[in-house]
Structure 1
Amino acid sequence: MAETTLIQGRYRLLELIGRGGMGEVWRAEDESLGRAVAVKCLKPTGEHGDRSFLPVLRERFRREARVAAGLQHRGVTVVHDFGEHKGVLYLVMELLDGLNLSQLLSANGHHPLPVLQVADIASQVADALAYTHAQGIVHRDLKPANVMRTADGTVKICDFGIARLGQDIGFTSRLTGGGIAMGTPHYMSPEQIAGVAVDHRSDLYSLGCVLYELATGVPPFDSDDAWAVLVSHRDTPPVPPRARRADIPEPLDAAIMSLLAKQPGERPGDAAEIVRRLTGVLRTDQPQESDPPRQEQSFGMPGWTHGIGTGSRATTGGQVRMVPPVGEVAGLTGRWTGPMQPPLVLTPGPPPAAPSGPPAVPAAPPVVGPGPAAYGGRAAPHPAQNGGPRPSGPVPAPERLAWLAERHGAALDLGRVGRWAESEETHRMVAAERERALGPDHPDTLASRYELGFALCRLGRYADAMRAYDDVVAWRERVLGPDHAETLAARQESAYVLGRLGRHAEAHTVYSEVLAARQRTVGMEHPDTLRCRHNLAYNLSRLGRLEDSYAMAREVADARARVLGADHRDTLVTRYEVAYALGRLDRWEEALRTYLEVADARARTLGPEDPDTLAARYEAGISLGRLGRSEEALELYRDLAAIRTRTLGPVDPETLRARHGLGVNLGRLGRWDEALALAQDVSALRDRVLGADHPDTLVSRRELGVAMSQLGRWSEALAVYQQVAGARQRVLGGQHPDTLNSRIDEAHCLDRLGRGGEAAELYQRVAAVRGWQDRGTPGR
């Protein structure tokens, strides 16, 4: 393959590692981040070659790719990026080291796998399905080739979203327009075969087929006659796995048979029930829960089942092409379906150098948007389409715009891995270049400024972020309208920054206005509305309205549990906020219990070392410290620091956060010399990594002052507190609560040093500002 094969100037295709009905999979290198990835290339031809279908297909692809990219579970393949390049839709995924279950069976000589291995695979797949089904997502094409077992034993489901894409356009388990079944009958549920609507229980049936084959070496219905396989799925009870293999434990046999029930209502209620049943196989035999009540449903055999082939089951090699009737086109990908063919070669575009002269001006200038991250999954509108100005002067070359879009994506990726300073620098460069090329009010320019604001937030540069968001909000209100989703998203971000600047009353006003608009436009329990209510609850606590904050957070957590599921990431974020409010109300026992429940749920769904799991454990440590259980807190933070040092490195901000918590609890235990040494180390590292004025750096520097005060080193403590107060006033303003608290620290030191007059004057200044704030009048 040509070495110059490059997608979007970033993903270099290196080696073809697979081809199936949906396209090709390549081992590739992400040259922006220097990591190995897998790139799945899909070449749409449209239904019956109808090119008018392509825009619909592309939109469905973007929709389903966003679904896949939003899934965050250790049992689901991570999707990094997606897009379209020279007519080819592509999906960038993590590159897995291992075998899919079809290859695993082949490597085992098509013999059954060991019972414990089957149970382990079953438990991991069921756990991942429980998570995805809780998000309202059904795979629809679960089969051995779509499940990977990595070298370390982790099992991951592949092709979420893409499986649904195929189903939506008649590729996977329904007909194409020519009457062709494109699925694999050995793993299809009776309701899929009948062509009726399916839900999560269809995935459970397919899981039963996969587990049956792993446990016995053959699918539940095995024939080279596809019609016979389909009829058997509909009408014939499967032979119990124990009848084929005597050493299969009864609980595993019962679990598989329950999954293979003909009627969806006779199967387990959800995948989590399978995880519970399999605990008895992996540990000890336990009584099994009764099957759910029956729900009768009859499945016929639709016309599309006539004349189909069997597809490929796990124990056969290669893909078997379904042959359409004469004159028809076989499915979405046309000639891509079937045996290996010459690889697709994506030729690179021209170099991204700026044009040397004015190019020809098309009727409307091309818009290369930043992708779904900046516009909520919608294409960025051209300003002229919404009454906005067209850029004047020569239209920039498409190659230049494409290069800027690639750099925008690289900046987003830098942020995802925590390299915020580099992300901010890249977004700033792209925003400036887009402004020169497209104008200050172009959607792409504003998208870059929006992301620049986000990066500035993460760097603690809130005043700069506020300026960026103000520009974006003003433009979107003018061009898109005040109730447009993108306008509301920008206003919500600006409210967050107002809160970080200590301007909580203003933030409350903006959040309330955004919430009213969201309730009016999308309803009370839409995820965007719930996100705004969550933020409003957070801000209420910062206004001191703790009971209101707690009540609203509880309402949002309950609503998210109903809409998204109890273990959904957003539900757990709000439960985390409930715990925070409980802590502020001095209900530390309840706070601790809630944090631990959130940590347990995150460990189940995301993994014990996922950053969100560790964040909940960190907050549990704070609760332990407040309850006087500093020895337990000390051990918890020591464990967190070790995990984060191993997984993130010794100078990562989260590692330093854990070490900071360790130092605080050393102080609570009276070990002030150790606390001081640790605070000095963490403060110096944060200064170097985050910057001298970053909020975390200032927190560590204040901890230095606390330790010095406890050791009687008041003059040194005063210098530290004055430095912290000056930095906070410079960054946050003189009225911010953190600035005022630092002034109180400073006054306390002055008092201990016998400088009572200066201390009294400082106390009075703080009291005056707080009095103005209480009356709602800005202090000066």
Structure 2
Amino acid sequence: MAESRLIQGRYRLLDPIGRGGMGEVWRARDESLGRQVAVKCLKPLGPHHDPSFARVLRERFRREARVAAALQHRGVTVVHDFGESDGVLYLVMELLEGHNLGQLLEANRHQPLPVAEVVDIADQVTAALEYTHRQNIVHRDLKPANIMRLTDGTVKICDFGIARLGHDIGFTSRLTGTGVAMGTPHYMSPEQIGGSEVDRRSDLYSFGCVLYEIATGAPPFDHGDAWAILVGHRDTVPEPLRSHRADLPEYLERIILDLLAKRPEQRPQDAGELARRITAGRTAPVYVPTVVARPLPDPAGERRATAPRFPPRPGQPPSGSPRLPSWTQGMTTGHKATGAVPRRTPPDASAGLTGEWTARPSAAVPVPPGRGGRPAPAAESITALAGRHNAGLSLARLGRWAEAGEVHRSVAAERERLLGPDHPDTLASRYEVGFTLSRTGHPGEALGEYARVAQARERVLGIDHPDTLAARQEMAYVLGQLGRHIEAHQAYASVLAARERAMGPDHPDTLRCRHNLAFNLSRLGRLEDSYRMAAEVAAARARVLGPAHPDTLVTRYEVAYALGQLGRWPEALHTYQEVAAARARALGPDHPDTLAARYEVGISLGRLGRSAQALELYRSLVADRTRAQGATHPETLRARHGLGVNLGRLGRWEEALAESRDVCAIRERALGADHPDTLVSRREVAVGLGWLGRWADALTEYRRVAAARERVLGADHPDTLAGRNDEAHCLEQLGHGQEAAELYRRVAAVRQRRAAQGR
């Protein structure tokens, strides 16, 4: 909606103040009453919804909005009005000045809130829930983003009745095809995940997750893998809060852990009972022991995992456990669900959502009483460093790699000073430094860090220890990033042999290594070998993890890529389409992995000459990427590039040229003039100019591309040589045959020299 838009002749939208899965929230002015309000505009329905569904939805919206508007409590956001304007459903609410709990945690660098503030928030939200539950209303989507703390200290719950609308419209991601809505899984009750009926006790469980997070700085099951979070909610007892924060009152810890009971009947039965327990605990006298014995924290504790090394075969859940979708049965929680700091194995090289499903026990190394004459480090120092290490991991999970790298470098230096260079905690931080370097475009520096970690771990833990192998596998990954694929192949093969010896051929870590090896084989030009190995890994992952598991789909994606490289485009298209459909069901239509698979469907359609279909797919993909990630996101621009290419294939060169110029300009501003994506767009501009007969302009663009590639990649890099060939072709079209022939000869000579050198 434009900023000048007037809703129903009354509410003038001023500026956007929030965006989420349901739509946008605007600061607006109520022209009738002269006050400022917040207007939530729900996303319009897409063309795939039929008119009868739209009618049902509008009626449901009005019913839910009336319910929300009828709530009158200090702790619930006031709804003033609702309606529909030009096909867009909207709610008018009081404008709240303050921050939601997620923002408060972010501002506090994900450190826990003060105890008094946690208790006050618990008190106020409990009172609001007690009121709403008496009205027979269940929120269903309690999370930090839906709880606001105003500037005057008042706490309010937002979005009552609106979460269910999102479920109906299909805006929320889906975990399964059976109707389980996933929003964010960190705050969902076991019965909600399993698709069972929910009541007020489900809200209490979600509120327990929120309290756990604001009291400790992290949710009870905190990691990036949605499936492990689900299994954590189902099977894993949360770590005691006081193991993270000793100053938390015992009564508050007991209340929060009771809220997180797996079965509804084991929790407080209503918000009234919860309120009585909070009041009783807050007013009870505190027992202070004469001597406080505080054991030294285990420095390896953040790295230790307690789950089995090998996942059981898929089967039935334990008797009496809450129901989860069938494809989640038999999964282990992994170290993340136990609350330990994640120790990553390398992601699949094709990128995607991958999960760590098993834990790998590592040796616990006690804090030395003193090394080299140094005094033993203080327990408080070690605990503080563990907290900062966790903060770095949280930044990485948010994609803030540069900031994460700064945190890990600082922690690594401090741990080395306190514990020594070969201590497992020091090496864990060094490992994370390498990880952030590889993700911020510094693979050479990352290789150095990983080599240092691998050598130290080999000395301390042994050559076949899982932590040593993890570092060596990351070395292989960054060697691939550096284009050193032969060395990467040797490293992967060595790690794979060790993993098969220690863990067996079907262990998820073994399969992950084989996947990466298959990926690297394709980069060596061994396409048949790459396809064969990827197909074997996909079959094994489907057997061990299930056909809809994200890791299985990542490997099937790689199978499709190999098929395309082999020119088997009909099979590649079919496989990409299956992966895209499976990801849409499991992860949701707007998940980055789903969108990536749809992009490859477009590539395959174009390769098969079905450019009209590819064009429509890319138009839809651009719209979805823009909505989900923004107009200037690199993946949105990649989809727009594909759109421009297919416009050209259809002979619509003026449109293709305009599109490629626009994308090139945005990429240059966002990524830089010499970035590979910018240069790809600039080459597409030159192609369009050539097809329009504007060869002199095309030559200028081709020369810019070739010169930039030579600066960045070197004169004999294949991409530079391809750019020089483009330049020669352009010279030919302009009638400069002799100059073109000389350039062709130079390029051919360099290629022959490279072939003779085996490069």
1:772 counterpart = 2:757: yes
Alignment partners' CA distance in 2, 1:400 and 1:76? 38
Give 1:507's aligned residue. 488
Cα 1:391–1:763, aligned 2, differ >3 Å: closer, same or farther?
farther
Partner of residue 701 from structure 2, selected from 712, 717, 730: 717
Partner of residue 748 from structure 2, selected from 763, 768, 773: 763
Alignment partners' CA distance in 2, 1:453 and 1:469? 6
Shift of 1:644: 1.7
1:144 counterpart = 2:169: no
Q: How does 1:552-571 map to 2 (within 5 A)?
A: 552-571=533-552
Alignment partners' CA distance in 1, 2:578 and 2:369? 50
Alignment partners' CA distance in 1, 2:757 and 2:196? 63
Give 1:668's aligned residue. 649
Give 1:536's aligned residue. 517
Shift of 1:34: 4.9
Q: How does 1:291-310 map to 2 (within 5 A)?
A: none
Alignment partners' CA distance in 2, 1:123 and 1:515? 32
Give 1:700's aligned residue. 681
The range that moved more, 436-445 or 715-724, is 436-445
Alignment partners' CA distance in 2, 1:79 and 1:740? 53
Alignment partners' CA distance in 2, 1:709 and 1:431? 54
Alignment partners' CA distance in 2, 1:384 and 1:367? 7
Give 1:161's aligned residue. 232
Higher relative contact order (CA 8 A, sep 6+): 1
Alignment partners' CA distance in 2, 1:36 and 1:405? 14
Cα 1:527–1:77, aligned 2, differ >3 Å: closer, same or farther?
farther
Alignment-mate amino acid for residue 666 of structure 2: L
On the 8 A contact 1:560/1:566 being kept in 2, the answer is yes
Alignment partners' CA distance in 2, 1:388 and 1:671? 74
Shift of 1:655: 1.8
Which TM-score applies when normalising by structure 1? 0.55
Shift of 1:704: 3.9
Give 1:246's aligned residue. none
1:413 counterpart = 2:398: no
Alignment-mate amino acid for residue 709 of structure 2: A
The range that moved more, 605-614 or 369-378, is 369-378
Alignment-mate amino acid for residue 479 of structure 1: V
1:628 counterpart = 2:596: no
Give 1:496's aligned residue. 477
Alignment-mate amino acid for residue 373 of structure 1: P
Cα 1:565–1:630, aligned 2, differ >3 Å: closer, same or farther?
same
Cα 1:453–1:605, aligned 2, differ >3 Å: closer, same or farther?
same
On the 8 A contact 1:99/1:150 being kept in 2, the answer is no
The range that moved more, 425-434 or 559-568, is 425-434
Listed one character per residue, the Cα deviations across residues 730-759 of structure 1 (whole Å, up to 9, x for unaligned) are 6xxx77654554454455556665423243
Alignment partners' CA distance in 2, 1:720 and 1:364? 59
Shift of 1:719: 2.4
Give 2:332's aligned residue. none
Listed one character per residue, the Cα deviations across residues 642-672 of structure 1 (whole Å, up to 9, x for unaligned) are 2221221222222222222222223323334
Alignment partners' CA distance in 2, 1:123 and 1:499? 33
Cα 1:161–1:586, aligned 2, differ >3 Å: closer, same or farther?
same
Alignment partners' CA distance in 1, 2:720 and 2:373? 46
Alignment-mate amino acid for residue 235 of structure 2: R
Cα 1:311–1:580, aligned 2, differ >3 Å: closer, same or farther?
closer
Listed one character per residue, the Cα deviations across residues 140-180 of structure 1 (whole Å, up to 9, x for unaligned) are 997735656999xxxx99974244235999xxxxxxxxxxx
Shift of 1:761: 1.7
Shift of 1:591: 0.9
Cα 1:665–1:399, aligned 2, differ >3 Å: closer, same or farther?
farther
Alignment-mate amino acid for residue 496 of structure 1: Y
State the Cα RMSD in Å.
Answer: 5.2
Alignment partners' CA distance in 2, 1:36 and 1:430? 15
Shift of 1:677: 3.7
Give 1:83's aligned residue. none
1:374 counterpart = 2:359: no
Listed one character per residue, the Cα deviations across residues 356-412 of structure 1 (whole Å, up to 9, x for unaligned) are xxxxxx999956858522366668767678x99957746665555545444443433
Alignment partners' CA distance in 2, 1:572 and 1:596? 11
Alignment partners' CA distance in 1, 2:238 and 2:403? 41
The range that moved more, 490-499 or 563-572, is 490-499
Alignment partners' CA distance in 2, 1:735 and 1:681? 30
Cα 1:97–1:515, aligned 2, differ >3 Å: closer, same or farther?
farther
Alignment partners' CA distance in 2, 1:435 and 1:729? 37
1:547 counterpart = 2:528: yes
Aligned to 2:492, the other structure's residue is in SS state helix
Q: Which runs of 5+ in 1 are unaligned?
A: 1-14, 18-26, 42-74, 81-94, 105-115, 170-181, 189-205, 207-309, 321-335, 346-361, 774-778
Cα 1:650–1:751, aligned 2, differ >3 Å: closer, same or farther?
same
Q: Which runs of 5+ in 2 are unaligned?
A: 1-73, 77-99, 115-139, 146-156, 207-225, 241-256, 284-294, 304-339, 346-358
Alignment partners' CA distance in 2, 1:686 and 1:37? 33
On the 8 A contact 2:297/2:379 being kept in 1, the answer is no
Give 1:357's aligned residue. none
Cα 1:366–1:673, aligned 2, differ >3 Å: closer, same or farther?
same
On the 8 A contact 1:431/1:445 being kept in 2, the answer is yes
Alignment partners' CA distance in 2, 1:97 and 1:621? 38
Alignment partners' CA distance in 1, 2:597 and 2:108? 29
- Percent of residue pairs bearing the same amino acid type: 48
Cα 1:401–1:669, aligned 2, differ >3 Å: closer, same or farther?
farther
On the 8 A contact 1:100/1:147 being kept in 2, the answer is no
Alignment partners' CA distance in 2, 1:404 and 1:588? 52
Alignment partners' CA distance in 1, 2:369 and 2:730? 57
Cα 1:379–1:311, aligned 2, differ >3 Å: closer, same or farther?
closer
Cα 1:124–1:573, aligned 2, differ >3 Å: closer, same or farther?
closer
Give 2:713's aligned residue. 729
Shift of 1:675: 3.3
Alignment partners' CA distance in 2, 1:29 and 1:529? 37
Alignment-mate amino acid for residue 763 of structure 1: A
Alignment partners' CA distance in 1, 2:603 and 2:675? 21
Cα 1:396–1:389, aligned 2, differ >3 Å: closer, same or farther?
closer
Shift of 1:496: 1.7
Give 2:134's aligned residue. none
On the 8 A contact 2:489/2:520 being kept in 1, the answer is yes
Alignment partners' CA distance in 2, 1:311 and 1:537? 48
The range that moved more, 512-521 or 159-168, is 159-168
Partner of residue 463 from structure 2, selected from 455, 471, 482: 482
On the 8 A contact 2:605/2:614 being kept in 1, the answer is yes
Listed one character per residue, the Cα deviations across residues 96-127 of structure 1 (whole Å, up to 9, x for unaligned) are 955899xx9xxxxxxxxxxx99xx9x997955
Give 2:498's aligned residue. 517
On the 8 A contact 1:718/1:750 being kept in 2, the answer is no
Shift of 1:481: 1.6
Listed one character per residue, the Cα deviations across residues 559-608 of structure 1 (whole Å, up to 9, x for unaligned) are 11111111111111111111111111111111111111111111111111
Listed one character per residue, the Cα deviations across residues 533-581 of structure 1 (whole Å, up to 9, x for unaligned) are 1111111111112111111111111111111111111111111111111
Cα 1:513–1:639, aligned 2, differ >3 Å: closer, same or farther?
same
Alignment partners' CA distance in 2, 1:615 and 1:481? 39
Shift of 1:443: 3.1
Aligned to 1:161, the other structure's residue is in SS state helix
Alignment partners' CA distance in 2, 1:535 and 1:372? 24
On the 8 A contact 2:422/2:460 being kept in 1, the answer is no
On the 8 A contact 1:693/1:728 being kept in 2, the answer is yes
Shift of 1:699: 3.3
Which TM-score applies when normalising by structure 2? 0.56
Cα 1:497–1:28, aligned 2, differ >3 Å: closer, same or farther?
same
Shift of 1:37: 10
Alignment-mate amino acid for residue 374 of structure 1: R
